[in-house]
Structure 1
Amino acid sequence: MKKYIILLLNLLLLAACGSQQQKSQPMTLTVSIEPLRYFTEIIAGDKFQVISMVPEGSNPETYDPTPQQLVTLNKSCAFLRIGYIGFEQAWAEKLQSNAPEVKFFDMSEGIELIREDEVHHGNHSHSGGVEPHVWNSTQNAYIIAENIFHTLCKLDSANISYYKENLAKLESEIERTDREIRAYLQNTTCAFLIYHPALSYFARDYGLEQISIEEGGKEPSPAHLQALIRRCKERHVRVVFVQKEFDSRNAEIIAREAGVKIVSINPLSYKWSEEMIAVAKALSE
């Protein structure tokens, strides 16, 4: 009888430990892109597991989520998105119908958006003519961080002070990033060339001119290429930025004819701070 009691106690202890382990598992958050995962992980700390839907190296304008990602989203407590990226717009209704219990939050709320009459990228148009790359800006990063903080507080009100402390850490990192960028750009008031206009908000922050190689979101015509070469010379452009998601052949032609250097960047990098500083450094050289 004593043996049975000991066995029963052991089983109860194991069950209690298993239950405790299950309770200690962090909740899952899905975010749309890697820079958003970077911001969210800093504030969320160990309270949430943060998963990015668009993997680094993929084009978020045309990305299609995998079946496994849809399953993961359905198990998440919330989906944090920028709100204006191509795949977010194209998949908005499908994602919400696939995960009706999941809460959706837009992290660009409160940002002063750069609008155009119509911004085209390939076969996709940005909603309302909005330039979607809001995260490539230290000033916008503060707003995104605040939005993430308020979202986490809604999802987990028991840990508000914890998220507030982590928000302060992220804000310090953003401030440090901005300080380093300004140090690199203090003697730089220049224009730069880029294939896909992903640095519009960066340019606005620091008084720079962004010149896009894309012509209405399409490959530039020979006439447009020649006009870009002339403009590069007139504006004393020293750098043309290329991204691996896009064909760099036209950028190489312009760089050769205008005598400017090619620099590869990744505006969708998880290493947001490093990437922002690398852009500034390239412009200063």
Structure 2
Amino acid sequence: MKDIRYIVLVAIAAACILSTQSCSNTTRKNRAERIISVTIEPQRYFAEAIGGDKFTIKSMVPKGSSPETYDPTPQQLVALSESEAYLRIGYIGFEQAWMDRMLSNAPHLKVFDLSEGIELIHEGKQAHGDHFHEGGVEPHVWSSVLNAKIIAGNTLRAFCQLDAANEEFFRARYDSLMVFLEETDTLLTRILVPGGDRSFMIYHPALSYFARDYGLRQIPIEVHGKEPSMSYLKSLIEVAEAEQVRTIFVQPEFDKRGAEFIAKQTQTQVVEINPLAYDWQAEMIHVAKSLSHEE
């Protein structure tokens, strides 16, 4: 079904491109704007921190959509042809499903993998209901300060390759970002003091790398990308009590009913987070404060 949708999308996009190609080529030659595409908003956060006004950064997956299952619109396929490079986050479902097909539609794109060098978490090769993680890799690599530093380094190398004349500019902004990330790590470590929650539940397991960084245990509610059964929810209630879970995280793009059911039975708090938000640091601090019950 995805292949059929893709053929339709490409046909529409191709028609749009052919009708505007001459004008678009002239526009690209005459304008100063240089466009870089990324998959999700946290990538745009880091890319803009390093790139400043040298590049315009555009995210493919819009606010409120899941990067596990999102399909690009015909307009996005047309717009992608305006980009000179694509910074992929690594293993997220959107990229696994669409990367090759997007490149066939925009073969000029230079692609950079921002997950290179990250110590990946392997979850076992399995389907997650409506999506699949290639090689069983846990794909939410950006939810970690340690990984953010690597993502920033890969972004810097990409920008220096794309625009060597501004390497000094990029490196200065990268250095400032690294100081900022060090300060963020110090702040998170202070917030997550002993005595705060060491285990937490979350509907979709998007905080695996965050949990690894700070010695926490993440307990997912969904089962391989599917809604949990009532019997499984009851077993999670027992886990929550045994692990002294006091916080259950939910994300805006997923159903909250399972989390609310567990919370009602265990007197735990349900906290909404958005790991896909643009303001990466604010979300990391929000997660930490929720676990330390500062908020």
Match of 1:72 in 2: 79
- Conserved in 2, the CA contact under 8 Å of 1:255 and 1:261? yes
* Matching residue of 1:280: 288
Equivalent of residue 90 in structure 1, options 94, 97, 107: 97
Q: Which amino acid aligns with 1:190?
A: R
Matched, 1:265 2:241: no
- Equivalent-residue separation in structure 1 for 2:146 and 2:30 (angstroms): 38
Report the Cα offset of residue 121 of structure 1.
2.8
Question: Structure 2 length normalisation: TM-score?
Answer: 0.87
Of 227, 230, 239, 2:235 maps to: 227
Name the TM-score, length of structure 1 as normaliser. Answer: 0.90
Task: Please say if residues 119 and 130 of structure 1, whose CA atoms lie closer than 8 Å, have aligned partners that are also in contact.
Answer: no
- Length, aligned pairs only: 266
Whether the aligned pair in 2 keeps the contact of 1:266 and 1:275 (CA below 8 Å) is: yes
Aligned partners of 1:119 and 1:217 also within 8 Å: no
Pair 1:209 & 2:201 matched: no
The answer to whether residue 43 in structure 2 is matched with residue 43 in structure 1 is: no
Shift of 1:23: 5.8
Which stretch shifts more, 130-139 or 163-172?
A: 163-172
Matches within 5 A, 1:51-70: 51-70=58-77
Q: Give the superposition deviation at 1:157.
A: 0.5
- For the pair 1:127 / 2:130, whether they are aligned, the reply is no
Please tell me whether residue 109 in structure 1 is matched to residue 116 in structure 2: yes
CA contact (8 A) 2:197 2:291 kept: no
Cα shift at 1:122: 2.6
CA contact (8 A) 2:197 2:246 kept: no
Q: Distance in 2 between matches of 1:46 and 1:218?
A: 42
2:165 equivalent in structure 1: 158
Alignment of 1:121-200 (within 5 A): 121-187=128-194, 188=196, 190-200=198-208
Q: What root-mean-square deviation, in Å, do the aligned CA atoms of Structure 1 and Structure 2 show? A: 1.5
Counterpart CA distance in 2 for 1:63 and 1:131 is 18
> Which residues of structure 1 form unaligned runs of 5+?
1-18
State the distance in 1 between where 2:30 and 2:174 align.
Answer: 25
Higher radius of gyration, 1 or 2: 1
Name structure 2 gaps, 5 residues minimum.
Answer: 1-25
Q: Deviations over 1:62-95 (max 9, x none)?
A: 1011111111211111011112010110002111
Q: Is the 8 A contact 1:119 1:131 kept in 2?
A: no
The aligned residue for residue 20 of structure 2 is none
- Aligned-partner Cα distance in 1 for 2:87–2:180: 21
Quote the residue 2:11 is aligned against.
none
Where in structure 1 do 4 or more consecutive aligned residues deviate above 4 Å? none
2:282 maps to a residue whose letter is: E
Aligned equivalents of 2:39 and 2:110: distance in 1?
14
Partner SS state of residue 220, structure 1? coil
SS in 1 for 2:53: coil
What is the Cα deviation at residue 119 of structure 1?
Answer: 4.4
2:46, 2:111 → 1: CA distance?
Answer: 17
C-alpha displacement at 1:215, in angstroms? 1.4
In 2, Cα distance between equivalents of 1:207 and 1:82: 24
- Cα distance in structure 1, aligned partners of 2:262 and 2:191: 25
Give the match for residue 239 of structure 1. Answer: 247
Native 8 Å contact 2:247 2:290 kept in 1: yes
Partner Cα distance (2:31, 2:135) in 1 = 43
Q: Which 10-residue stretch deviates more, 235-244 or 180-189?
A: 180-189
> What is aligned with 1:31?
38
Contact 2:80 2:106 in 1 (8 A): yes
Distance in 2, matches of 1:90 and 1:23, equals 34
Identity of aligned residues (%): 55
Q: Is the partner of 2:81 in helix, strand or coil?
A: helix
